Amino acid sequence: MRAGPVARWMVVAVVAVSAAGLAPAPAAAGDPPAGSAATGRELFIGARPLSAGGAPCGACHALGGEGLAFTASLGPELSTGLTGMDPVALDGLLETLPFPSMTPVYEGHALTPGERADLAAFLLAAAPRGPPRGAWHREAWAAALAVALFLGLALAGRRRKLPSRARLVARAARPHGGSR
């Protein structure tokens, strides 16, 4: 069977790309599989549940530059710690989860290799954006609102009527006119 001009052109293109070093390098044996950042984002916020159960990362962690869905504050903000981390180290971190506060949440709910790859792809892409901007504005407004409500309740409490006993004692202490 003879190769047509299109088949020859494809062979030449593949050889040229390989020779120029533009072809993707084969993955090393220890490298984690490539993941989808979009799927990782869904896993992070809980739009897509983890296959073994467990809480989504975004229930506790904030991640910069991603909006209100990424401003939780129970765990640390992740963008500062993940900046510059290589995918193999992040995969190992997601596999073992060596943090005591995370052990009860994920014990028996291990992440699959695909979920780790997707989360790593998302986290490594989002980390350079930095910590959430403007999150302190919401916290400041919430604190100001709490103080205003407390002061309002304190002022309203001062206007309450005296208890019945105090009113009776006050009335008895007032001078009365003579008896008739």
Q: What mean pLDDT comes out for the span 113-138? A: 80
Query: What's the rounded Cα separation, in Å, for the pair 140 and 68?
Result: 15
Name the H helices within 24-134.
37-45, 79-82, 87-96, 103-106, 113-126
Q: What pLDDT does residue 67 have?
A: 64
Cβ-proximal residues to 133 (8 Å cutoff; 6+ apart), any chain? 64, 65
Q: Coil, strand, or helix at residue 62?
A: strand
Q: What pLDDT does residue 12 have?
A: 36
The continuous run of DSSP H or E covering 140 comes out as: helix 135-158
Q: What is the dihedral of CA 174, 177, 179, 180, to 10 degrees?
A: -140
Query: Global pTM?
Result: 0.56
Q: Which residue has the higher pLDDT, 66 or 39?
A: 39
Q: What pLDDT does residue 85 have?
A: 85
Question: Average pLDDT of the chain?
Answer: 74
Q: What pLDDT does residue 3 have?
A: 43
Least confident of 14-18, 35-39, 97-101: 14-18
Q: What pLDDT does residue 62 have?
A: 81
Least confident of 65-69, 112-116, 151-155: 65-69
Residues of the chain above pLDDT 70, percent? 68
